[in-house]
């Protein structure tokens, strides 16, 4: 398939997934704030900013991390390329460029999604509206994934889309875990308090992981939460699961059998996935969770670069 088309389907999916993740961050924090004591938590939007990795951009454009500013920035800011509005717009632009390749149902879903977010951006937002808006963004993203799954042939283009979505997800789950871990790392006096528990539960919920985690681990401890989000092979938002799926799609694209490689993207993704597979939590904590996640994100970026070089940036002469 055309490199440009592959690139567009890949980014279409990454942007939809990214919009969903931003909605997750915000939604969980909104709910968390309802449960925390009234005083002393004005700064609770800082962690959300940290999670996005774009704190510097925010500070350039806004004075303080007030709820209103942060919400505007993350949700409707046209100038900020990772706001929900910008992500959905980019997703739609990419979809429009490959309308003849994707299914018309996919186009319709992403188009409807965009028109709806744009309308919300122009409307007066009430607080109650906010509480329903973010879950609906998540749902629109799930709908898109479901429609793509059920209406597009699972061909090369589909696998590029799937690959994009799962790499994006792995990256964002790493970020959630990293920043929350830092921010929520309990002060000695807070350990085991109900507030501490609430915050960890919020972290799980932002990855839609709370219920599935309970079924598997029961007790809420930082270590087992990190383990669940990093290494669980069955939970669809864990990094391990995302990488396994991404790798399968990549091999569908190249036709190389799993366990071997013909492209650098396969080599780097395969290595990352198997490293993770044979990692224990002891090793993670020995290195330090933050350091571990930092390295993982760098490796994910490398995989992304190799995908671009292997498939999108075809050199002039063969």
Q: Dihedral of the CA atoms 203, 209, 212, 215 (nearest 10)?
A: -10
Assess contact for 107 and 99: CB atoms under 8 A: yes
Find the part of the chain contacting other proteins (CB under 8 A) among 52-60, 79-87, 224-232, 310-318.
310-318
- Site string (235-274) toward other proteins, x via CB under 8 A: ------------------x---------------------
State the DSSP code for 79. Answer: S
Spatial separation of the C-alpha atoms in residues 181 and 198, rounded to whole Å: 13
Using CB under 8 A as the binding rule, whether residue 317 contacts other proteins is answered as yes
Using CB under 8 A as the binding rule, whether residue 187 contacts other proteins is answered as no
Using CB under 8 A as the binding rule, whether residue 93 contacts other proteins is answered as yes
How far CA 265 is from CA of 211, 302, 314, in Å, comes to 34, 8, 14
Using CB under 8 A as the binding rule, whether residue 144 contacts other proteins is answered as no
Using CB under 8 A as the binding rule, whether residue 14 contacts other proteins is answered as no
Judged by CB under 8 A, which of 42, 66, 68, 104 binds other proteins? 104
Using CB under 8 A as the binding rule, whether residue 309 contacts other proteins is answered as no
Using CB under 8 A as the binding rule, whether residue 311 contacts other proteins is answered as yes
Q: Is 25 or 107 the residue whose CB approaches other proteins more closely? A: 107
Using CB under 8 A as the binding rule, whether residue 100 contacts other proteins is answered as yes
State the DSSP code for 52. Answer: H
Using CB under 8 A as the binding rule, whether residue 129 contacts other proteins is answered as no
Min dist CB 74 to other proteins, Å, is: 21
Judged by CB under 8 A, which of 31, 44, 111, 279 binds other proteins? 111
The secondary structure of 166-230 as a DSSP string is HHHHHHHHHHHHHHHHHHHPPPGGGTTSHHHHHHHHHHHHHTT-HHHHHHHH-S--HHHHHHHHH
Using CB under 8 A as the binding rule, whether residue 189 contacts other proteins is answered as no
Find the part of the chain contacting other proteins (CB under 8 A) among 63-71, 86-94, 165-173, 228-236.
86-94
Element (H, E) at 28: helix 3-35
The secondary structure of 236-274 as a DSSP string is TTSHHHHHHHHHHHHHHHH-PPTT--SSHHHHHHHHHHH
Find the part of the chain contacting other proteins (CB under 8 A) among 22-30, 55-63, 268-276, 307-315.
307-315
Spatial separation of the C-alpha atoms in residues 133 and 197, rounded to whole Å: 26
Binding site for other proteins (CB under 8 A): 1-6, 89, 92-93, 96-97, 99-101, 104, 107-108, 111, 114, 118, 156, 160, 253, 311-312, 314, 316-318
């Amino acid at each position: 398939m055309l490199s440009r088309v592959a690139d567009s389907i890949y980014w279409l999916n990454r942007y939809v997934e990214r919009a969903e993740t931003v909605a997750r961050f915000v939604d969980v924090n909104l709910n968390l704030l309802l449960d925390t004591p009234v005083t002393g938590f004005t700064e609770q939007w800082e962690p959300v900013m940290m999670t996005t990795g774009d704190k510097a951009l925010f500070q350039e454009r806004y004075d303080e991390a007030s709820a209103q500013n942060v919400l505007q920035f993350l949700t409707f800011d046209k100038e900020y390329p990772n706001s929900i509005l910008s992500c959905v717009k980019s997703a739609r632009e990419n979809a429009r460029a490959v309308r003849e390749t994707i299914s018309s149902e996919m186009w319709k879903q992403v188009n409807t999604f965009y028109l709806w977010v744009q309308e919300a951006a122009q409307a007066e937002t009430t607080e109650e509206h906010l509480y329903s808006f973010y879950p609906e963004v998540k749902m629109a993203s799930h709908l898109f994934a479901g429609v793509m799954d059920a209406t597009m042939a699972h061909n090369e283009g589909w696998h590029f889309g799937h690959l994009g979505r799962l790499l994006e997800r792995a990256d964002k789950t790493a970020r959630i875990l990293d920043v929350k871990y830092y921010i929520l790392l309990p002060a000695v006096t807070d350990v085991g308090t109900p507030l501490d528990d609430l915050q960890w539960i919020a972290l799980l919920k932002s990855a839609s992981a709370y219920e599935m985690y309970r079924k598997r681990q029961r007790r809420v401890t930082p270590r087992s939460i990190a383990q669940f989000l990093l290494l669980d092979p069955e939970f669809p938002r864990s990094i391990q699961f995302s990488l396994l799926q991404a790798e399968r799609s990549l091999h569908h694209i190249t036709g190389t059998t799993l366990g071997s490689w013909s492209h650098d993207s396969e080599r780097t993704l395969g290595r990352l996935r198997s490293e993770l597979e044979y990692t224990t939590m002891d090793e993670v904590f020995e290195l330090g969770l933050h350091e571990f996640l930092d390295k993982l994100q760098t490796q994910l970026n490398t995989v992304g670069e190799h995908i671009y070089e292997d498939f999108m940036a075809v050199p002039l002469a063969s």
